[in-house]
Structure 1
Amino acid sequence: MSFRLGLIINPLAGLGGSVALKGSDGADIVCQALALGASPRAQARTRTALAVLQGMEIELLTWGGAMGEDLARDMGFEPRVLGAPEHTPSTAEDTCRAARTLRDAGVDLLLFAGGDGTARNLCEMLGDSVPVLGIPAGVKIHSGVYSLTPAAAGELVAMLVRGELVAISEQEVRDLDEAAFRAGQVRARFYGEMRVPAEHRYLQHVKNAANREDKALVLDDIAAGFIEQMEADTLYLMGSGSTVAAIMHEMGLENSLLGVDAVLNEEVIAADCTAAQLLALCEGRPVRIVITLIGGQGLLIGRGNQQLSAELLQRCGRDSLYVVATRTKLNALRGRPLIIDSGDADLDHSWSGLIQVHTGYRDAVLYRIAVPGGDAAPDIEH
């Protein structure tokens, strides 16, 4: 019997990321994102995952239109379509109805593309009644039910299709209050757990809360080291997170904790920028991109900072990255590599390898960036 794979795509997932809206929950935000020129990303990311499964013995069950059928047929699959969305664009109600129908049809695994809002909807509808696996396509992804990258989702499903032994574990579903998130406040709430194939090379971990060390002298040391090496007439793109915020605070500058700010000659010239704004600002200037990793996950790019687009990264180059993190945050990864999930697989692969992570004043380590499924063992040099 073929492996019965259910597929649901939230076509609007991640829509607000590139235009600095911090999410895509709610019709008003969707309209605003589209008006700002945002492009949906869930289809492309699902395509990456499904490409791994082409030619395998799979019975694909899905929902109509942009929720799965269109992409599946375009890729050469012959899906069994069990229904269609009642709304255009599709809504949370459509997602829930599709999930219930696919579960009742007896799928072995429900593969879905979305963000924490999508995971929350599925958790409320399904609980732990069917194994699930998320393709990360949203802006904010704190839940532990997602793969590290779209390709990793495909690899993990392929392991199941081949009959390899893959453990199942209960993983948390968490979601942020997007209104508070846009106001610079992180308020996460636990919504439940779902059953997920557990393979540490491919599965994302629940985001850690900020470590106590991040609030103390180590951040002051990181900030001092960064400020000392700043160069005149260089544009610094200051990413999200409390580690980068500490640098901005040390410089006496206002900071978009959950956005990307542009700093030139120690002044903020643009705050909470969109992807398009960043591309325009970088034209004709030397650029450094200052980022930190998400605690417990190791994600550098692709979670909450989609403003740093693949086009921008290609233009600026790998050497433009200035990565900051405490040693405590790195140790919390327990040997897992750093991950770049830019949406461009070629870029992600080409940027793999050792990178310098600044961990204090004139103190740094070399840590590995790796594509999930490759050589995941980190090389750390002091």
Structure 2
Amino acid sequence: MRTIGVVVNPIAGMGGRVGLKGTDGKVDEARERGAEARAPDRAVTALRALAERVDSEDVELLTYRGEMGEREARDAGLDPRVVGGPGVEDTTAESAATTAADTRAAVRRFVAEEADLILFVGGDGTAVDVAETLNEEGAEIPMLGVPAGVKVYSAVFAVTPEAAGRVAADFDRSETREVNDIDEDAYRDGEVRAELKAVAEVPVAEDLQSSKQVGGGTVESLALGVAEDARADEGATYVLGPGGTVGAVKSELGFEGSPLGVDVWRDGEVLAADASADEILAHLGERNVVVVSPIGGQGFVFGRGNDQISPAVIRRSDVEVVASKPKLDGIGVLRVDTGDDEVDDSLRGWRKVRVGRFERRMMKVV
């Protein structure tokens, strides 16, 4: 049996139709302008799609009381188990005005109940509340968003409410994705300031949206993106590793690189081709960027096929990892084995891997 915790932010998206570009801190004003709640209807749509794909005995639905999930689940024809209510943990409490604290409390209850998935309805602010609570609880439970907010910049949402219901019913594995949020006040002034807030486990599915902080792409587009950055990075030395993906970067920079070697480039000039570690060190400047792609099927970024990029080079350089989405899908995690424990430790942790001209995916280096 799959246990799904459902939490609805009933005020999400209210500010959109009345021109407020968001609801954070604007609920009363939205209501004064005649705004109507949209999240409950979208929650019902998602839950109906879920109900169509599962038998009632195959899924247990956990909700908060009233409009935070219980009401929508019953409207969708489901019989949820209520585990708390807005403002309190008591399952007998009446509905009250809901807050972010209620969303976080609901997620904590779902964690305690060992849910297999958190299905939330809201926007980026709700996504941040869910992801941060899961991280605080040390829970690796996947989360999935039903889009209901004015701004949806995170990569944890299904493309539609119907898609969310289908994914919740059918997924069998998860991957790490970005949770972003933007400054609503700046957004109302016409400026988008997207910020990475968290990373979260999300079901693997085609019907999920990409992060809007970045943009979708291919090996060709990621190579174009790196080349554009390199040309604009005046005076910077680029150490370009081996392999086909970085080879595409070299081609975008206008030269035929060493397929199995490391090339050094700066300001339109190839300083060294198929360079040794000493040659690379000799050409480093004040700012240096190492561009590498995971080698082989084991996910090694350093220590397999690119030993020329020595610990001494890495210490003096920024590191940009590039890879196609299919390659990352087949790897799971990235690995380092430079032979220097201190350098390896400095490289470990979460890292953004460029997968398109603008798009990046969070990957863990172990």
TM-score, structure 2 normalization: 0.54
Give the aligned residue type for 1:103. Answer: V
Task: Please say if 1:188 is aligned against 2:194.
Answer: yes
Match of 2:60 in 1: 59
Measure the CA separation in 1 of the matches of 2:96 and 2:182.
Answer: 25
Tell me the SS of whatever aligns to 1:84: coil
Do structure 1's residue 129 and structure 2's residue 140 form an aligned pair? Answer: yes
Match among 202, 207, 211 for residue 206 of structure 1: 211
Correspondence list, 1:22-33, <5 A: 22-26=21-25, 29-33=26-30
Give, in angstroms, the shift of residue 210 of structure 1: 7.6
Structure 2 contact 45–76 (Cα < 8 Å) conserved: no
CA distance in 2, matches of 1:175, 1:83: 27
Hey, what's the Cα distance between the residues in 2 that align with 1:23 and 1:77?
30
Deviation at 1:35, TM superposition (A): 0.7
1:356 aligned residue: none
Describe the SS at the equivalent of 1:45.
helix
Cα distance per residue 1:93-148 (max 9 Å; x no partner): 00000111111101111100000000111121112531110000000001011001
Q: Paired residue for 1:373?
A: none
Correspondence list, 1:288-303, <5 A: none
Distance across 1 between alignment mates of 2:325 and 2:152: 17
Q: Distance in 1 between matches of 2:213 and 2:37?
A: 28
Give the structure 2 partner of residue 97 of structure 1: 105
Amino acid at match of 1:20: G
Deviations 1:250-281 (A, max 9, x none): xxxxxxxxxxxxxxxxxxxxxxxxxxxxxxxx
SS in 2 for 1:181: helix
Q: Does 1:171 align with 2:177?
A: yes
For residues 168-189 of structure 1, the C-alpha deviation after alignment (integer angstroms, 9 at most, x for no partner) is 1101000000011111111111
Match of 1:313 in 2: none
Structure 2 partner of 1:113: 121
1:7 maps onto 2:6 in alignment:
yes
Q: Deviations over 1:4-49 (max 9, x none)?
A: 11100000010101011011112xx000101111111111111111
- AA partner of residue 6 (structure 1): G
Aligned pairs for 1:327-366 within 5 A: none
Spell out, residue by residue over 1:341-365, the C-alpha distance to the aligned partner (whole angstroms, 9 max, x if none). xxxxxxxxxxxxxxxxxxxxxxxxx
Higher relative contact order (CA 8 A, sep 6+): 1
**Letter of the 2:12 counterpart:** A
Q: Which runs of 5+ in 1 are unaligned?
A: 161-165, 214-331, 335-382
CA separation of 1:122 and 1:84: change in aligned 2, threshold 3 A: same
Give ranges in structure 2 of 5+ residues lacking alignment: 88-94, 225-323, 327-366
Partner secondary structure for residue 170 of structure 2: helix
Give the letter aligned to residue 144 of structure 1.
A
Deviation string 1:174-230 (CA, Å, 9 cap, x unpaired) is 000001111111111111101000112x111111448999xxxxxxxxxxxxxxxxx
- The answer as to 2:161 corresponding to 1:158 is no
Partner SS, residue 50 of structure 2: coil
Tell me, in whole angstroms, the C-alpha distance in 2 between the residues paired with 1:190 and 1:94. 23
Residue 45 of structure 2 corresponds to residue 40 of structure 1: no
The residue identity in structure 2 corresponding to 1:53 is L
Corresponding letter in the other structure for 2:147? P
Residue aligned with 1:147, SS? coil
Do the aligned partners of 2:11 and 2:23 also contact (CA within 8 Å) in 1?
yes
Report how many aligned residue pairs link the two structures: 207
Q: Which SS does the other structure have where 2:195 is aligned?
A: strand
Q: Which amino acid aligns with 1:7?
A: V
Gap change, CA 1:210 and 1:7, over 3 Å in 2: closer
Q: Residue 7 of structure 1 aligns to a residue in which SS?
A: strand
Partner-residue secondary structure (3-state), 2:60:
strand
Indicate which of 155, 170, 174 corresponds to 1:144: 155
Structure 2 CA distance for partners of 1:209 and 1:156, relative to 1, 3 Å: closer
Distance change >3 Å, CA 58–CA 209, structure 1 → 2:
closer
- Cα drift, residue 75 of structure 1: 2.5
Match in the other structure for 1:71: 72
Contact kept, 8 Å, 2:44 with 2:75, in 1: the verdict is: no
Look up the SS of the partner of 2:162 in the other structure: helix
Tell me how far 1:74 sits from its aligned partner: 2.6
Q: Considering only aligned residues, what root-mean-square deviation do their CA atoms show, in Å?
A: 2.3
Percentage of matched positions with identical amino acids: 44
Measure the CA separation in 1 of the matches of 2:20 and 2:325. Answer: 29
1: distance between equivalents of 2:48 and 2:9? 18
- Cα separation, 1, equivalents of 2:42 and 2:107: 19
| DSSP-derived class of the 2:6 partner | strand
Q: 1:4, 1:167 → 2: CA distance?
A: 15
* Separation in structure 2 between the aligned mates of residue 179 and residue 333 of structure 1, nearest angstrom: 34
Alpha-carbon distance change, 333 to 109 in structure 1, aligned in 2, over 3 angstroms? closer
